[in-house]
Amino acid sequence: MDPKQKLLAMQSLANLYYNMKDFTKAEEWHKKVIAADPMNKEAYYTLGVIAWTRFVPSWREARNSQGMKPEDPGPLKEPKNKKDPDIKAELKAKYWQPLTDGIEDEKKALQIDSDYENAMAYMNLLLRYRADLQDTKEQYLADAKEADEWVQKALETTKKKAAKKSAAAEQTQ
């Protein structure tokens, strides 16, 4: 099979599984895409999205169980006594590494394309949501600050691209 066709087939399978919400197979196929094409920014980006998507339902449930609204500052609360479940520790044990890997995947996408605003947006989300698992308020605030910086970079990049597109359209008229 032609390598380009093979890569296209792998990308199609990766996207099909992602759209079906079979994140285990989607992740597996996106990693195969990266093995075949290490410069595939979309595959890295999607791995980060998968990490975030897997975490969000548990994150929402944890915040709800602690009486926290989405806009309330974190991190998640420690248990009041030793008999209560330590929700934050449970989430951290399960999701810290996948969220961190997702951040690294977005960094790789941004190394390939420094103007990839979708990857910037998910850097923000991954950092912001992972911040709730931090041990201290200071660590939480540091992650939230970095997340805010990624939001700003994404907005600036979007604005820059729109201005460039507008200028190109004016030149063709």
Domain ranges of the chain: 1-38, 41-162
pLDDT classification of 85: cutoffs 50, 70, 90: confident
Distance of alpha carbon 28 from alpha carbon 121, whole angstroms = 23
Residues 6+ apart with CB under 8 A from 129: 52, 55, 56, 59, 99
pLDDT at residue 60 tops 80: yes
pLDDT classification of 170: cutoffs 50, 70, 90: confident
> Is-contact 52 122, C-beta < 8 A?
yes
pLDDT classification of 128: cutoffs 50, 70, 90: very high
pLDDT at residue 115 tops 80: yes
Per-residue pLDDT tens over the stretch 6-28: 999 999 999 999 999 999 999 99
Between the CA of residue 113 and those of 8, 98, 128, 170, what are the distances in Å? 20, 22, 22, 26
Record the pTM. 0.91
Q: Inter-axis angle of helices 117-131 and 87-112, to 10 degrees?
A: 160
pLDDT at residue 108 tops 80: yes
Report pLDDT for 26.
98
pLDDT at residue 160 tops 90: yes
Distance of alpha carbon 40 from alpha carbon 105, whole angstroms = 11
Task: Tell which residue, 58, 63, 60, has the closest CA to residue 76.
Answer: 63
Report pLDDT for 83.
87
